[in-house]
Amino acid sequence: MLHKNPARAQSFELAFGQAHVFYPDATDERYLRHRRSLMSQAMAQLMEEDTPDPDEVQETAAEEEWAIEERISLNEQRIGAVVAALRASGAKRVLDLGCGEGKLISALLKDRDFSEIVGVDVSYRSLEKAQDKLRLDQLAPAQRERIKLLHGSLIYRDKRLNGYDAAAVVEVIEHMDFARLAAFERVLFEFARPKSVVLTTPNAEYNVKWESLPAGKMRHRDHRFEWTRDQFQSWATGIRERFGYDVRFLPVGPEDAIVGAPTQMAVFEENETYTTHTSHTSYKTYKRNS
């Protein structure tokens, strides 16, 4: 029988309070395995989501998506486009929301202009992989200090995300239940409120161009939705109106005359003078809290 070992208790901050997870007394290897799965279960419970373990979901489906998109190394083009947009915004302190295994973080780390890079993910296992792939424990202290990895869900308000210059949200929203999107919008655009947000999502119209993707299917088993350009642009325009951000759209990857590019990107810039309308207050002018 395993006992709870208080030395191995771990607490993590959530928007609505602290969660405590106790890990059983066991060998280090078993402890690590347990810790991972308990963290994920606890997070899933706290999220009250009817979704399976976020770690499992990511692992099984990510490879399939990679295989479909590999031919044009879309992933690299996407990261290049996101880094360029972040750089153009003049951001120094940036969030990578839904950072996964840290590919964008790795690209940002190479550019000294980014003084602080914070990766956030709901999947604890992805964060562990990011930590390994980025070789955080081998980095020189000056480099190491630029990076922080946080375990958390983007559908809960989180004070740790306040006060940044920019946030990247790369191929994340389509992994959220459609019903949670409204909560995410407020967490990011109302509470965390970075000056710029660079957000990408698949362009569903382009799916007809993937030979290996059966008609009508989405690119990744965990995608809850994939949007056409019209759908994405009307969602982003809604953000502009409700939260006071200007928005522009850019295609990423080879652009087809009819169906567009495989990835669609929106760049939001806070417009401080905007008077906006939210469901909670009638009319409100957003002010930066920093």
Chain positions contacting ligand SAH, by CB under 6 A: 54, 58, 98-100, 103, 121-123, 126, 153-155, 170-172, 175-176
Looking at the Cβ atoms of 40 and 276, the one nearer to ligand SAH is 40
Residue closest to ligand SAH when measured from CB atoms: 100
**In 42-56, which positions are buried (b, 16+ CB within 10 angstroms) versus exposed (e)?**
bbbebbebebebbbe
DSSP-derived 3-state class of residue 245 = strand
Looking at the Cβ atoms of 55 and 205, the one nearer to ligand SAH is 55
Looking at the Cβ atoms of 108 and 276, the one nearer to ligand SAH is 108
> To the nearest whole angstrom, how small is the minimum distance from the Cβ of residue 257 to ligand SAH?
27
> To the nearest whole angstrom, how small is the minimum distance from the Cβ of residue 98 to ligand SAH?
3
List residues bridging with 251 in a β-sheet.
264
> To the nearest whole angstrom, how small is the minimum distance from the Cβ of residue 174 to ligand SAH?
8
Gyration radius from the chain CA atoms: 19
CB 149 within 8 A of CB 131: yes
- DSSP string covering 149-183, please? EEE--TTS--GGGTT-SEEEEES-GGGS-GGGHHH
How deeply is 281 buried, as exposed, middle or buried, from its count of CB atoms within 10 A (0-12, 13-18, 19+)? exposed
Q: Extract the tokens encoding 105.
A: 């973080």
> To the nearest whole angstrom, how small is the minimum distance from the Cβ of residue 85 to ligand SAH?
14
> To the nearest whole angstrom, how small is the minimum distance from the Cβ of residue 212 to ligand SAH?
19
> To the nearest whole angstrom, how small is the minimum distance from the Cβ of residue 282 to ligand SAH?
29
**Nearest in space to 82 (alpha carbons), one of 48, 57, 58, 106:** 106
Q: CA-CA distance, 204 to 43, in Å (whole number)? A: 30
CB 266 within 8 A of CB 249: yes
Looking at the Cβ atoms of 123 and 264, the one nearer to ligand SAH is 123
Looking at the Cβ atoms of 104 and 286, the one nearer to ligand SAH is 104
CB 167 within 8 A of CB 104: no
CB 171 within 8 A of CB 201: yes
How deeply is 212 buried, as exposed, middle or buried, from its count of CB atoms within 10 A (0-12, 13-18, 19+)? exposed
> To the nearest whole angstrom, how small is the minimum distance from the Cβ of residue 122 to ligand SAH?
4
Looking at the Cβ atoms of 55 and 270, the one nearer to ligand SAH is 55
- Residue 155 corresponds to which amino acid? I
Looking at the Cβ atoms of 96 and 286, the one nearer to ligand SAH is 96
> To the nearest whole angstrom, how small is the minimum distance from the Cβ of residue 75 to ligand SAH?
7
Looking at the Cβ atoms of 124 and 286, the one nearer to ligand SAH is 124
